[in-house]
Structures are given as C-alpha cells and as structure tokens.
Structure 1
C-alpha cells in the first residue's frame, strides 16, 4: 500500500473534516417523487401481473393498463386507488399484512419496503408517468428495461439462432439479451452485441452485407425485431426497432435485393417493411397460430411462412394477398425455404419430414425428404441451392441433394436437439447450434468437423475443445 508524506496526510485529513462539516450543515435532500414506471411497476411485474393480465384476469382484475389498474376488479370497483389517500385505497388495503384476502394471494407478502413505496406513491397522488392510461404499461416497461448480460456465463444458454457474418469470418449466435460473435477459424469470442430481448430467435443479414436484422422476445410478455446497419470493422449499429408485439418475434428475413425486411412471430402477423425508410408496406394476419419461420422467393415478390397451425403459406408481397396454403404436414411447421428456381417451397415440421411442394395454382406435394429421427426445426440451402441442410430433434445435421432428396451425409456430434443451422456465404461451411448451448462447424464437401464451442462468453465446460 503506498504511503504519503506526513504533511500530505495532515492536509487530506483536514480536507475530509471540512467536507464532512459542509455536508453536515446542508439541509436534508427532499426525496424525489415516486415514479410509477421506475419504482412501482417493477414491483407489480414481480408480484401481480402473472395473475392479473388480460389472458388471466383473476378476480376479473386486469392490471396491465393503468386505467384498469386504478378501476379495480369485481371488488372495490370505485375505490381501488384514491389519489392522496392510501388508507382509502383498496389496492393498499389488500397488499398490507392484514389484507383480506392478502395479496399476492397464497404467495409471500410484499416486503415492508415495497409496501411503503407503493403507499408513498398513492400519498403523492398515484400519478401515472407513462404515455397513456390505456396503454399496456407492462409492454412499455419491457421495452425500456435494459438487462446487462453476465460478463461470464454461469451456464450455457440454448442456441436458437445462428448466422454467418457477410464475409464468413464469424458465426453470430443467440445469447442472453445479446448476440455473440465467434471466429470461424478457431471458435474464439470476437464480439458481443447487447441490448436484445431475453431470447434471440433469428438473425439475418442482407445479401449485400449492409444490413442485419434480429428477432426475439421475453416469452409470453414481449417481442421485438431490430434493424442494424453493418460496416466492416465496426459493431453493427442500431437503426430502428421494427415489429413490436406482446409475445416473441420468431423470424426475420431480407428480400434478395435487401430493399425489404419481413418479420413474424407469436402474434400471427406477417409484416414487411421498407428497409431504408422503415415504412410498413405490407401486413397480413392469415395464420391461426404462431408463425415460426419466413422466407423470401428468389425474386423477392413472394413470402413463404411456417406456422404452428400445421400449415405453410405463400403470400404475394406485391399484390398483398395470400396465394396458397400447404396443409400436408398435419403437425406444426417449423422451417420453410424457397427453392433456388422459385417454383417450389420446402417446409420442415413436427412429422419428421421435409416436404417439397409447388406453388402454381394449388399446393401439390412433389416429394418427401425423410430419414429424420425427430421434428425438423431448422433448414438452410447452400448458395447454389443444390444442397439442403436440415436438423432437428435427433441431434444430427443432415445434408441432402435437393433435386432428388437423396441423403448425402449425416453430421454427428451434438448431444441435444438442434434448433439452428447456417451455411457460410461461400457455401463451404455449415454451423449448427443445439439446446445445450453448443455450436459446431463442419466442412460441407467432406463432412469433416471444424470447431466446437459453447456460445456463452466465459463459460467453462470440461471436455469440450475446438477440433483440430
């Protein structure tokens, strides 16, 4: 520990005395007013919203808009909140230890500090500091909440999205509230893009490499797609938020020329935006359940979808209409792609098959691609469209000759279900990511393993090393 000359020590001691005296003489600071969004809302999210939302309104009480929160449920309709009068507010009565029934119901009571904070908020006027009393404040809170990913992950997280960078030098992977970048050459961490929702479900780059889009969400609560500008040598820069939803956004896709970007997710809405301007140019709600994947046709005029409603559909983006529906899987459809010639679509689903079907006139199945030992969760083509890469619930990555559906090779190594696959821009490398957090790369030509790593910064797992 460094030592100071005696004269300097005396000076520092006198300085502390002067500063302390000055602080002691200052009048006590007036506490700043309690904020609903910053102070009260987080308490209610932790303790109340699970039972008092639009989907599950216990006691006919919905708290997700301030207007309904203030009004109350089937009991206390007119006195749930009395601004300035906590003792006359039914909400306060219920959260106090003697409340009947005491809330949260059959759960641990609120702490004394939380109760005091809510009481002070009511005493100060029970003001709402969001934009509108009728907005879903839980959605606004989720959107504005910033979560810092851990410096070192204590556990690996499921890989639900993978994409190669435009130059193929990195594999971009989903993380916890972030996208992580890993060097293709050695599997080393190359960067972290933070500010994402809890889970990232899709990552896409425009073909020219100028744009990146991400889709994600906090399951059951919030969903968001984001558009990023990409410049060589710099981290992607956020341009704007795209689709916002009250549940996860699962898929994003760029048109081949990059002029449009599409999003879809649990709200069943397919949206298409002008990439540069951000204008919404097309929107349709035609599925009966979640949309899990989307893909543009090679000419950018059509969009194919895969849905949990057991169908795959094709939409005409130019004419803004639905063209054809393929119901052949009879199980949830998880992945969809256009063939390179744009004349057919391949969809993979819970029936452990990839099915190729035409889009002219009506959806007719051309052939089945089989050999899977479980649901088909993810698919990708090599750039020439000749090789289909697919994976899913049997822990294996499979390569097929798309023209006839014949198996080319099986890539073994994962120990858990595979939810994401990607092919490098040059078509030479495949990357796959599994539920246990592991990412593997493979050589397309001979199936030789490349790198193996957990896409979790700082996470240490015994027995996992990069392949040589």
Structure 2
C-alpha cells in the first residue's frame, strides 16, 4: 500500500467529521425523500419539516455559520429570520406573506438553497402547508436547538447485512477476554475472540463510535461518538450476565462529536471529551457532573487517567497535550512539543511521565510538571500515530498508525519489540486483552486483527462488518 501522508489523513478526517459518509448504509431521518404526512394529519415540525431543513438549509444557517445573518437551529430564530432586521421570515397562518417560502420558489433571486438545485415542489408545498396550519413547533421549547433534538431522537434503521465494511474507530476486549466490542454504523458489535463469529449487536448509538471502554471491575461499558457537526454523546451501559449490555444513561451530550471516554482506575468516575473542547468527569453511579473544564483551543481527541486517578491527560488538535489536576480543577502541565495535532495520550505506570502521539508521526514521552521536559522520542512510523496504549502491567507500549502497522515497545526505555504487519489500511484503534497476552487492532477497511503480544505473530483476523462475506 502506498504511504498516505498526514495531510491526506487530516483532509479525510475533516470530511468524516463534517458528515461525508464512508458508506450509504440505510435511509434515516435526513434521507433525500422524507416521508410525507397523511393528507388529514397535521404537519409536524420535527417529523416532517426538520428533515428538509437539515438536508437543505442548516449547513449554511447554523449557530457557527449564519449566512445572511440567519441561524435557524432554534425555532425562535427560524421564525424571526435574519438579525439584519428584515422582519419576520415566517408569518404563522400566512405562507404567501412569509419570505421563507418566497426565497424557495424557482424564480426567486437569490433563490435558496443558494447555488444548489431548487427544492422539489412537494417539499415547498409541505412547508407552505405547515405555515398555513400555524407554523407550530412540537418540541419542548422554541429556544432549544431543534437539530440537536432531532438527531438525538431519530430512529435509524441499520441493515441486517452491511453492504460494505465501515472503518473501525474503536474497540475493546470484554473483562474476561472472550469477546471484543467494535464500532459499527449506529451500533457496536460484539465478536467472539475464539472463532471470530458475531456474538451480538448493540443498536441505538450515534452514527460513529470513537471510544469503547470497560470499567476496571467489568460492571460498566462506556461509548463515545456522534453525528459529525450535529450531535455527540457518551453512553453508559451496564454489563449483564452472559455479556449483554443494558443502556443506563446518556452523558456529556453536545452539538458535535464526543471523541474520548476513560474510566478512573477505581471505576467510580468517567471522563469524556470531544469537539466542543470540554473535559467532563461524571460519577458513574449517579451520572452527576463533578468536573467540567475547558483548557484546549481545539478539539480533544483522547483522555487518560493517571494511575492514582488524580489527574487527566488530554490530546488535542491544537497541537498540545495537557495534564489536568482533577481535585483542584487546574492545569498541571502543557506539553507543546508536537508540531501537529495530537491524537492520543497515555500515562506511565508511576504517573510521572506521559506518552503522546499524533500527526507528526512519532511518540513523545515527557515529564509531568509546570515545565514538562521531553525525555524520549519514538519514531520510525510512516504516518500519523492514531493511538498509543499501555499494556495492563504497564511494561509495554503499543501504537498504531496510518502506515498500516502496529508496533510495540518497552515502556521504560522505548526500545522496539515487534512490528505487527498485515493490515492494508490505516490502523485507527488498538486494545490489550485484560491478561495482556493479546493485542487487537482495527483498521479503516473494517478489519480487526488479533496478535500474540509475546512474539508479535497474528492469531486471528475478523472482518467486523455483520453479514458481509470476506472476499475470497
């Protein structure tokens, strides 16, 4: 495989986060042709109108990008119209007096959606009918972000069999090591490590899952992910007898993707972070938010607890890694040694150093303190290093990269142990089994590979796409 540069990786990650789909798996709430309401049934804003606006309007009229000074992601803003003072956009009961309809007509100048195909006549008729019926909002509050509500509550039909594989952006071994959970499309999938067969599918998740992690005692599982640019959430699941999962609560809801989740060493708290640049720490038993901190200037891709649970390390697109004191709610260290976005962080077993890695194609090990000092550099990667993870005993450091390899090193001095070759695409996710004897890696093309840690030899390959036959 030709080596792909960090620049290409960054471009594709941006497309990924903006919602450009890797595959078209199923029709969902924002499909090209939303279902029409029955003739005798009132038009619902959330069910009928909102999918049209998501498809054709809010990309240019949202809180971050309000073309024409018009943001429409709250109902109050949608009705009021532009902040430039042109008057109300929607006049309830009077579609002919509503500028919202006028600018959608084929002969409008300018016509909306701007520089795109005009809305189908049936969509304009539906919007006209909704306004004629009173332009009512059927959410909780006219000031809430209805796009957020829509993505949180929409039902997505996941196909019984995937037509193509999806990138593996997260994976984790079960507490007993007999199963491995992998990211899917609006779901996570559980596979048996003994033979690679599918054990079960867990639906009800956002489009992409970026983190899967079990609590140290094996009683909980946390996932983090989202619908890029629209909705993000960390979910807490109770692990049931036999390996089943029961959804308990949603945490850290945001209007963009939640990338990271990590349990504290005692399993009592869960830390999350994502595109909103906020680190949150919740009590696991109650869901109570105990810490909220915003110290990075850009997205946070990874979080890791120190061995004593008193500090958090973070990795950010702002090209820094940080260490945060949880009790005092203040920064302990900012490491500026990376020249590119930082994708991953991990503490050493004694908590005195942190290993961070990212799109400068290397791992840097540095001391925790007011003036962190680099003590080691681990190079040799042919692309961005997406994840760095320590073994359960802390003696081995594993990393995966855009060059399609997984590498292991001695944690105390950085000396290389094994280079695990076999993937033919970017390797995004890695995880050690609880006993530290097996390492799992997941790649962009949907493959999960299991490796023997002792000798670096392959043990099993799983195509982690339910119902998709492996090419012969």
Match of 1:88 in 2: 97
State how 1:231-380 maps to structure 2 within 5 Å.
231-380=240-389
Alpha-carbon shift at residue 433 of structure 1 (Å):
0.6
CA deviation profile, 1:413-442 (whole Å, cap 9, x unmatched):
001111100000011100001111111111
Alpha-carbon shift at residue 223 of structure 1 (Å):
1.0
Say if 2:394 is the partner of 1:385. yes
State how 1:369-448 maps to structure 2 within 5 Å.
369-448=378-457
Alpha-carbon shift at residue 182 of structure 1 (Å):
1.0
Could you tell me whether the CA contact under 8 Å between 1:313 and 1:323 is conserved in 2?
Answer: yes
Q: 1:200 aligns with which of 209, 215, 218?
A: 209
Could you tell me whether the CA contact under 8 Å between 1:71 and 1:77 is conserved in 2?
Answer: no
**Gaps (5+ residues) in structure 2?**
1-37
Alpha-carbon shift at residue 73 of structure 1 (Å):
2.1
Match of 1:17 in 2: none
Supply the distance in 2 between the matched residues of 1:44 and 1:106 (Cα, whole angstroms): 16
Q: Provide the TM-score with structure 2 as the length reference.
A: 0.90
Match of 2:5 in 1: none
Supply the distance in 2 between the matched residues of 1:323 and 1:460 (Cα, whole angstroms): 50
Could you tell me whether the CA contact under 8 Å between 1:293 and 1:335 is conserved in 2?
Answer: yes
Of 42-51 and 30-39, deviating more is 30-39
Q: How many residues get paired?
A: 435
Q: 1:140 aligns with which of 121, 125, 149?
A: 149
CA deviation profile, 1:121-156 (whole Å, cap 9, x unmatched):
111110111122222111111111121221111111
Of 344-353 and 294-303, deviating more is 344-353
CA change 1:269–1:442 in 2 (3 A) is same
Alpha-carbon shift at residue 368 of structure 1 (Å):
1.3
Could you tell me whether the CA contact under 8 Å between 2:355 and 2:388 is conserved in 1?
Answer: no
SS of corresponding position for 2:76: helix
CA deviation profile, 1:276-312 (whole Å, cap 9, x unmatched):
0111000100001111000001111111001111111
Of 359-368 and 135-144, deviating more is 359-368
SS of corresponding position for 1:394: coil
Of 342-351 and 403-412, deviating more is 342-351
Which consecutive segments of 4 or more residues in structure 1 shift more than 4 A? none
The two structures, once aligned, show a CA RMSD in angstroms of: 1.5
Alpha-carbon shift at residue 220 of structure 1 (Å):
1.6
Supply the distance in 1 between the matched residues of 2:365 and 2:58 (Cα, whole angstroms): 44
**Gaps (5+ residues) in structure 1?**
1-28, 464-468
Could you tell me whether the CA contact under 8 Å between 2:89 and 2:99 is conserved in 1?
Answer: yes
Supply the distance in 2 between the matched residues of 1:229 and 1:163 (Cα, whole angstroms): 15
Supply the distance in 2 between the matched residues of 1:348 and 1:79 (Cα, whole angstroms): 51
SS of corresponding position for 2:103: helix
Supply the distance in 2 between the matched residues of 1:273 and 1:168 (Cα, whole angstroms): 26
Supply the distance in 1 between the matched residues of 2:129 and 2:291 (Cα, whole angstroms): 47
CA deviation profile, 1:332-360 (whole Å, cap 9, x unmatched):
11110111111211111222211111114
Structure with the greater relative contact order (CA < 8 A, sep ≥ 6): 1 or 2? 2
Larger Rg: 1
CA change 1:228–1:366 in 2 (3 A) is same
Supply the distance in 1 between the matched residues of 2:78 and 2:232 (Cα, whole angstroms): 23
Match of 2:119 in 1: 110
CA change 1:30–1:222 in 2 (3 A) is closer
Alpha-carbon shift at residue 275 of structure 1 (Å):
0.6
CA change 1:30–1:390 in 2 (3 A) is closer
Q: 1:43 aligns with which of 45, 49, 52?
A: 52
Alpha-carbon shift at residue 403 of structure 1 (Å):
1.1
CA change 1:97–1:322 in 2 (3 A) is same
Q: Provide the TM-score with structure 1 as the length reference.
A: 0.90
Supply the distance in 1 between the matched residues of 2:381 and 2:55 (Cα, whole angstroms): 42
CA deviation profile, 1:150-193 (whole Å, cap 9, x unmatched):
11111111111011111111111111111011111111111111
Say if 2:145 is the partner of 1:128. no
Q: 1:221 aligns with which of 208, 216, 230?
A: 230
Could you tell me whether the CA contact under 8 Å between 1:333 and 1:349 is conserved in 2?
Answer: yes
